[in-house]
Amino acid sequence: MKLRRKILSIILLLVMAFSLPACSSGNKSSTNTTDTQKDSASGTVEEDVEITFAFWGSTAEKEAIEATCRSFEAANPGVKIKTMHVPSGDFLTKLNAMIATGDTPDISYSDSWNCQLGEDGIIWNYNELMEKFGDIGTDNYLEYNWWNWNENASCGPVFAPGTVTMVYNKDMFDELGIEYPPYSVENAWSWDEFVEVAKKLTIDANGHNATESDFDPSNIRQFGVMFEGSSFSYMPFVYGNGGYYLSEDCNEFALNEPAAAEAIQKITDLVNVHHVHPSATQQSNMTSPSTAMQSEQVAMYIGGTWTMLDLNEAGVNYGVGVLPMDHNYSTYMCGSSLVIYKSAKHLKETYEFGKWMTNPESSKELLNLFQNLWMPAPKEYYEDEEKLNLWASSDLESRPDHFIEAVVDSTLDYNLVRQPDMNIKNWSEINTMVSSALDAVWLGEKTAEEALNEIKPSVDTLIEGTYNGDRS
């Protein structure tokens, strides 16, 4: 095991020692429940139960989450949900501090660090909880929507997945008489077609677009496209181009190989060659994708489907289309799992709350989130037409035209793969190193292949394979 991983494991084991007083003593602490939990399992709660729930999200998401927690309380008398909203950028730091003081939440959102918590015994194996409470199983959820740290141990399902998609400002297309992006994979733009449209949508201060000889790339008032800017948005294009993050045996870094590096290079060329994408500095000065589209600074955005909630809140007249790909259309579903900590005092109630959060029909507030922000994880919401339309139909005010074709069908009916951060061990450390190296590529100082070749020896020292054995 690599040194950094050893250090992390030692720290987490020490952390466990501090958090053990919150559990019952002895080897049976991970399977026993309190008397209150036993009462709850039989349908009654004899004393007030408080569950601490830590999460992140935008203001609109925060308000909706807090409202659905109140609905859960109303449906479960005697149970109180103490919400703890933490900005996503500060979440892990806050969580580490809480673990160190023995003050962990009972349940929380999680990210790529969740499997490490599972390996080190900080959180429950969700498979054990499903077996213990005996009401659902893995077959109830989409296959790729599981965070597993080995074949028998899971952090749980992605409770509210999203996927990579393209959204666009219809008004900006209409003003220039440009046809909307296609919404079916069969008619998807090639990469060159996509670049050409992005050029026509990129306008300088004098009204010239990026196809014209007198276009001024130093004085752009409107950009054709913007990417979310992380592995989440570029990896579908890597897969579509025949590339991978890891070698075939999962023992080496492979993002530097030609097929993968070419896909990343094409995206960064949008900034430095074609001038249709804001620079890193320009993008950081834009408050959010929704405000950039509302203010007509950006015509198209490639990123997570969760952007649609903020677009709806901002009143943007937007549409949705499939990704531009030349070869094998590829994407993935991703998102947080709700992890349950071993220190949870009321395990049954905490588990029931987690299930509540994955069910779009638990409350009107939760259904509103699934109609605006998330996609469901349970299979029945894709296989049953009535349930599919409940959250995805374009008849809903919150869903743009052709949402099912452009988002649901394009994701489930084509090359659906497992998102790298759900599968690659040591992902956080690896991704930090790769993201830092790609900064020079976004700035046009190095090619993608040069930057990624330079870090390969260092990244290889962190590679320890994948959690499920599949290549990512």
Task: Identify the weakest region by mean pLDDT among 81-85, 262-266, 423-427.
Answer: 423-427
- Say if strands 330-331 and 415-416 run parallel, antiparallel, or are unpaired: parallel
Least confident span in 39-43, 115-119, 308-312: 39-43
pLDDT value at residue 333: 86
160-219: per-residue pLDDT in tens?
899 999 999 999 999 999 999 999 999 999 999 999 999 999 999 999 999 999 999 999
Does the pLDDT of residue 3 top 50, yes or no? no
pTM: predicted TM-score of the whole model, two decimal places? 0.86
pLDDT at position 261 over 60: yes
Task: In whole angstroms, give the CA distance from residue 58 to residue 65.
Answer: 10
Answer for the pair 326, 128: CB distance below 8 angstroms, yes or no.
Answer: no
Q: How many helices (H) and strands (E) does the chain have?
A: 21, 14
Beta-strand relationship, 318-321 and 146-150: unpaired
User: How much is the pLDDT for 26?
Assistant: 34
Question: Predicted confidence band at 46 (pLDDT cuts at 50, 70, 90)?
Answer: low
Query: How big is the chain, counted in residues?
Result: 472
* Structure confidence at residue 19 (pLDDT): 36
pLDDT of residue 29: 33
- The pLDDT-based confidence of 470 (bands split at 50, 70, 90) is confident
pLDDT above 90 (res 14): no
Helix, strand, coil percent values for the chain (each to nearest 5): 45, 15, 40
Q: Could you give the angle at which helices 258-272 and 427-442 cross, rounded to 10 degrees?
A: 50
Q: Check pLDDT > 80 for residue 311.
A: yes
The pLDDT assigned to 144 comes to: 81
The pLDDT, as a whole number, for residue 18 is 34
pLDDT bin (cut points 50, 70, 90) of residue 287 is confident
Residue 43 has pLDDT above 80, yes or no: no
Give yes or no for residue 435 having a pLDDT over 90: yes
Q: What's the farthest any 2 CA atoms get from each other in the chain?
A: 77
pLDDT category at 47 given cuts 50, 70, 90 is low
More confident residue, 472 or 43: 472
Q: What are the tens digits of pLDDT across the range 438-453? A: 999 999 999 999 999 9
Tell me how far apart the alpha carbons of residues 269 and 225 are, in angstroms, rounded to a whole number: 12
Question: What one-letter code names the amino acid at 1?
Answer: M
- Residue of 55, 47, 49, 63 lying closest to 83 (CA atoms): 55
Q: Which of 4-13, 64-73, 237-246, 383-392 has the lowest mean pLDDT?
A: 4-13
CA distances to 141, 167, 419 from 161, rounded to whole Å, are: 11, 17, 11
Q: What Rg do the C-alpha atoms of the chain give, in angstroms?
A: 23
CA count, 13 A, side-chain hemisphere, 438: 22
Q: If you average pLDDT over residues 133-149, what whole number do you get?
A: 86
Q: What is the mean pLDDT of residues 106-129?
A: 95
Average pLDDT over residues 430-436: 96
DSSP line for 154-191: EEEEBSS-EEEEEEEEHHHHHHHTPPPPPSSGGGPPPH
What does the DSSP 8-state code read for residue 405?
A: I
pLDDT averaged over the chain? Answer: 89
8, 358, 299: which is closest to 159 by C-alpha?
358
The tens digit of pLDDT for each residue in 387-430 reads 999 999 999 999 999 999 999 999 988 877 778 988 999 998 99
Q: Would you state the pLDDT for residue 60?
A: 77
- Report which of residues 83 and 57 the model is more confident about: 83
Question: Which one-letter amino acid corresponds to residue 386?
Answer: E
Q: How far apart are CA 456 and CA 433, in angstroms?
A: 10
pLDDT at position 57 over 80:
yes
- Identity (one letter) of the amino acid at 371? Q
Q: Are strands 107-108 and 79-85 parallel, antiparallel or unpaired?
A: unpaired
pLDDT at 1 over 70: no
Per-residue confidence at 332, pLDDT binned at 50, 70, 90?
A: confident
Q: Are strands 107-108 and 49-55 parallel, antiparallel or unpaired?
A: parallel
